[in-house]
Amino acid sequence: MQSPNPTLVTPSLLTALEVCSDESVYAPGYIQPHGMLLMLQEPHLTILQISENLEQFFGISAEALLGQPLQRLFSEAQVQRLIGYLAQDNLETCNPFKLKTRRKVAQTDWRWKNETFTGVMYRMVDGLILEVEPQQSIKSAYSIEFYHSLQGAIANLSNATNLTSLAQTLAREVKTMTGFDRVMIYRFEADDSGVVIAEEKQRHLESYLGLHYLAIDIPAPARQLFYRNRIRVIPDVNYTPVSLIPTNHPLTDAPLDLSNSLLRGVSAYHIEYLQNMGVAGSMTISLLNDKRLWGLIACHHYSPKLVDYETRKACEFLAQFASIELVHQQEREFHIYRTQVKTIQNELQHTLLQDANLIEQVLSRHTPQLLDLVHAQGAAILLDGHLTLVGQTPSATQVQELVKWLVQHKGEQVFATDSLSRLYPEAEAFKDQASGILAISILFNHVKKTSYHIIWFRPEQIQSVNWAGNPQDAVKINEIGEMKLCPRKSFQLWKETMQETSLPWEAAELEAATEMRNTLMLVVLEFSQTALEEAAEQAAIANRAKSQFLAKMSHELRTPLNAILGFTQLMNRSEAIPSEFQEHLGIISRSGEHLLTLINDVLEMSKIEAGKLELTENSFDLHQLIHSITDMLALKALEKGIDLITQQDKSVPRYVYGDESKLRQILLNLLSNAIKFTTTGSVTLRLEAFVNSVDSIQRSSSDSSDSKPIITLHLEVQDTGCGIAQFDMETVFEAFIQTERGRHAQGTGLGLSISRQFARLMGGDITVQSTLNQESTFTCEVLLSLVNSVDIIASETTRTVIGLEARQPTYRILVVEDFRENRQLLVTLLESVGFEVCAVQNGYEAIALWEKWQPHLILMDIQMPGIDGYETTRQIRDREVGKDVVIIALTAYAFEEDYANSIQAGCNDHITKPFLQTFLLDKIAHYLGVRYRYREDALPRLDQQTLVQKSLTAKDFQVMSSEWIMQVHEAALNLNDAKLYNLIAQIPNQEGVLANALKYLVDNFQLEAIAKRCCEAQSQL
């Protein structure tokens, strides 16, 4: 018969009801009556708990034995033998054992009866359990006849040729050994339901072979016990339970755990289930496979039947042997399939690894092999978003949606189901192509979400399942409307038609899919590695090209800039220069220095991107550094009419060790930016320091082994400027990216990016908080080491060199420089000091003149026609007389590797163009020991009064027309300095203050100050 509504009782419903069941399986509180149970306390084996049927066997009431030693029941010798067993690590090796006793036949009878019991002992958490059963027969488990019987059964099992034959042989041998009316081999399915795969029975009995049983027929707790204990006997289903005295454990007052008991009572649910089947006695033996419960040997008898202990142990041993054979048989049955799969896998793997970048094409060309791999009718190959369909499949759109569901809801490396629509209802639309799927997935999430999938499809396979009774009968509705489990009363064949289900995926097919995933993973990794190597090679080529380009551009820009700044410095040394020309020279110098700053920014960024940025640390005066920076920027702040405030906490130390140059650049950049974008109010620099533990800080410093205390220098630069929009908060730190307001100001957009990289290199970082149109606060932290004042080398006040002191040798200096203007600059500078100078334009001339003239020092350019400066230096050093001459590389190449290359070629030092003349002269003095004469008067320093005089107000502009003011405002916003100079020329001679002040601001790139004053003047007109 067929159910009118086969979906009413679902596996999930039955599982939920099973969980809610109140039946106790582990501690029922009673035992079966075919034996006795005693709970003993070691070491004296005192009886703490006992089954009440003891009086039936020993004639002594159970209550009278509580608290008594075991000697009340068995002789002293037997008890001592048991105590000896307890010294063993594993009590199982001592079980079973014989115990004998002697009692009167009746109280009024003088005759005595000798009885033999079979006993077993096992420990539990709170005591020792002794179980005894009366011996049922006198035959020995070790008799020749019994041994031959067991040996024959094992031989028959070994000769089985397949799984079906093995199961049938096992059922037959167990029936022969035990005499049960029916013996079945019961296999658990993946959903914990079961199916009878072999049966031996009396001829008149109805066959159960091929019938399926619900998972709830053997509930989860029972399955767990079957896994722990291999055998379970119920001699009489209609037995009267024997209570334990006392009911609970006397020491813990908890029900006694009978998980390991051979006599454990049976739940009422299972008793009723067996009674409904007509079974009067049963025995169940577990079959284990790879540490899981594979199945059961279920023995049924239709009258009470007690099998003796020896026979039960023999059947248990036979089941253990059969479990091993079951594994072997399954392996043998899978062997042919695995061989076929391996051939297909090897072919696919070999081809895929040869064409790792053509995965899709290879799989498409080998469609038959791909489908045969797991016996599928169709497949979908989805590689990084590109889909290919082969065989019978759903549509491309349906497959794409299915993959999304798999990734979102499953995310498993290997996923299989034979009823997709139960999990994914949308699959009902394509059940004819894909009622079952087997999918392998590879997901990469580290850089971008990349995924690779192969999904095999099986169509709907309408099939019938023979159930032992209607599954609907396992549930009943009680008087209050609740669903309850109940043992089925009918086990008549009941057929269920399974729809929207494919043939199930076998374990070997899942294994083949897993292997295919491993192969695909290898190919993907090989492909990814090849792609990464190609990308890395291209990136390296591009990086080298960029570095070469930057080095070339740096050299080409620095070389003429060296001449510009050098001659400017040289002219400034002359006292004969008219005062009006001094101002012009200042403009040239500041313009050149501004250009040099831009070049240096680009070079620093290239070092950062190439990962070549390093710390150059030294001891320095931190207070002096802060003072010099704020002093330098004071003029700029006053010209804009804003306050520059420094708030330095007393915790800030004076002498520190770190990268002074990088810290200077960070401070200059943060303060300059704050002043640039602030039109009214103030810019405030706050500094404080915190001492850190040396052990807790990891620094990439050459001084890392030093034990100097480490501090965190915390500085904030707060302004009352235009602020930063929320969406620009992080982009301000990106290279070449400026905010909307920043695009109207001068600069490369590199300053903040470089400064943050410097701060991170120094163990800290830079962050920002800002409110648009109100204020911004940049916070910087760097790590520095504390030093003593004696570590600081005091720098002399910069003075102008005017010549050499008397009574010194005549020092010969050779200038090697291919750029004529730079040669002329060096010759003029050095001769003006008093050195004897010769100059050449290439390496060949340098070697020839050096041999003839023997100079004390050579200033060596690097890039020259013919042989470069490196080779020229090497050739000089290779000669014996060339080892003592001082060679200083003087070059426009400014990278760290250029310095290293110079030293490696044999140079004593390296100076980068453009250079300060004082720096060059100091280097010469360092290597030759030269002593200079200096100009007595120091250069005048601008005081606060001078700075104030150079600031403009809106009132100063009102002497000009409103249209002129508007044109100046527009030119300042557009950074058009040429137009500004033309407009300044229109100012009447009597307004020289205005003209000179504007000219000064244009010369010093303070166009925002001009725009601000114009705006204020226009508002007051």
Region 933-945: mean pLDDT is 52
Higher pLDDT, residue 948 or 903: 903
**Is residue 56 pLDDT above 60, yes or no?**
yes
Residues linked to residue 457 through DSSP beta bridges, in sequence order: 378, 437
- Check whether 516 has a pLDDT greater than 70: yes
pLDDT on residue 446: 43
Contact indicator for 433, 393 with CB cutoff of 8 Å: yes
- 253 versus 949: which is more confidently predicted? 253
Q: Categorize the per-residue pLDDT at 956 as very low, low, confident or very high, splitting at 50, 70 and 90.
A: confident
Spatial separation of the C-alpha atoms in residues 583 and 562, rounded to whole Å: 20
Q: Read off the DSSP letter of residue 239.
A: P
Q: Which of the residue ranges 431-445, 511-525, 671-685, 891-905 has the most confident prediction, judged by mean pLDDT?
A: 671-685
- Residue 540 pLDDT exceeds 70: no
Q: What is the mean pLDDT of the segment spanning 525-554?
A: 60
pLDDT bucket at 718, cuts 50 / 70 / 90? very high
pTM for the complete prediction?
A: 0.45
**More confident of the two residues 896 and 737:** 896
User: Residue 447: which pLDDT band, with cuts at 50, 70 and 90?
Assistant: very low
- Separation between Cα atoms, residue 456 and residue 459, nearest integer Å: 10
Instruction: Check residue 585 and give its pLDDT.
Output: 62
Residue 543 per-residue DSSP state: H
Give me the long-range contacts of 641-645 (CB less than 8 A, separation at least 24): 641/680, 641/951, 641/1009, 641/1012, 642/675, 642/678, 642/679, 642/680, 642/681, 642/682, 642/683, 642/720, 643/681, 643/682, 643/683, 644/671, 644/675, 644/682, 644/683, 644/685, 645/682, 645/683, 645/684, 645/685
Report percent pLDDT > 70 for the chain. 72
User: Given pLDDT bands bounded at 50, 70 and 90, which one contains residue 892?
Assistant: confident
| Arithmetic mean of pLDDT, 114-136 | 88
CB 299 within 8 A of CB 282: yes
Q: What is the biggest distance separating any 2 CA atoms in the chain, rounded to whole angstroms?
A: 154
Q: Check whether 779 has a pLDDT greater than 90.
A: yes
pLDDT digits (tens, 9 = 90+) for 336-383: 666 766 776 676 666 655 654 556 666 777 778 888 888 888 999 888
pLDDT at 824 over 60: yes
Which H helix or E strand runs over 511? helix 507-572
CB 673 within 8 A of CB 618: no
Token pair for 147: 């041994």
Q: Is the pLDDT of residue 842 over 50?
A: yes
**Cα–Cα distance for residue pair 177/317, rounded to 1 Å:** 12
Across the strands, what pairs with 858? 814, 887
836-840 vs 812-816, strand pairing mode: parallel
pLDDT tens column, 141-162: 456 677 777 888 888 888 888 8
Residue 783 has pLDDT above 90, yes or no: yes
pLDDT for residue 403 is more than 70:
yes
Q: Which of 108-112, 365-369, 942-946 has the lowest mean pLDDT?
A: 942-946
The structure tokens 């089925």 sit at 488
Average pLDDT over residues 764-777: 88
